[in-house]
Amino acid sequence: MALYKSSNPALGKETFRKAERMVDDSSVMTIQGTVNKLAMLGLLLMTTATLIWNLMTKGTIGFTGPLVYGSIFGGLILAVIIVFKPKLAPTLAPIYALVEGVVVGGISYLYGYMYDGIVMQALFLTLGVFFAMLVIYKSGLIKVTENFKLMVAAATGGIMIYYLVSLVMGMFGGGSLPLIHESSLMGIGFSLFVIAIASLNLVVDFDFIEAGAEQGAPKYMEWYGAFGLLVTLIWLYIEILRLLAKLQSRD
């Protein structure tokens, strides 16, 4: 099976090729091992997210932009290090999950405060999309070709640049770019488009991890693959949260 390029920056084409091969079968990457690592990272993320949520709910701390922004950039730095140094994934991926839990917890609290029940809706929809895309991938309904991956990569890159510019503008009091927070039909359409691209990233990630397991990548790549999936899932969850908020604001 050919090893294709992933549109997820954490799961690039050359990643497995650069990883050393292990002789012992017990020291190579497996799909089940990656799933187990993803579950561990998810548990760590939920731990800090729940902690931040409870602290804000009890009034121990209010919603603080600097805390969330700091965690966003802290997570970004960790992600960049992991991407360039996959061997560090077993150590840094759990730290990344804990840091991103602060982001997820803070953002979830803010949306949950404004829209009752929206957080659980977003969580279940995220899990639903994850398993739906897994079924679609395993059934072969979407062919993960090189052109498909290039298309997803281009769309993902464009969205990330757009969001990064908007984030920097927001930090310096310049507001945000159009469509991201707008509840107009165009704003809702934009959110649906972003969710679709995030969902397609899951398919590409599944293919990448399966290829790595088949080619006998080293064991630490399980952490790397789980980290890549977690990045996509966090993105997908936040986008679904934003879409639900837009829809509720129109009621």
pLDDT of residue 181: 83
| Tokens describing residue 188 | 């809702």
pLDDT of residue 178: 81
* Residue 28 per-residue DSSP state: B
Cα separation of 43 and 109, whole Å?
18
Cα separation of 92 and 179, whole Å?
34
Cα separation of 202 and 8, whole Å?
9
Cα separation of 221 and 88, whole Å?
10
Chain segment 124-147, per-residue pLDDT in tens? 999 999 999 999 999 989 989 999
Low-confidence ranges of the chain (pLDDT < 50): 1-5, 21-23
Check: CB of residue 142 under 8 Å from CB of residue 87: no
Beta strands in 23-129 (DSSP E): none
Q: pTM of this prediction?
A: 0.86
pLDDT of residue 16: 60
pLDDT of residue 2: 41
For the chain, report the end-to-end CA distance as a whole number of angstroms: 49
Q: Tokens 């996509």 — which residue?
A: 232
Check: CB of residue 123 under 8 Å from CB of residue 237: yes
pLDDT of residue 222: 95
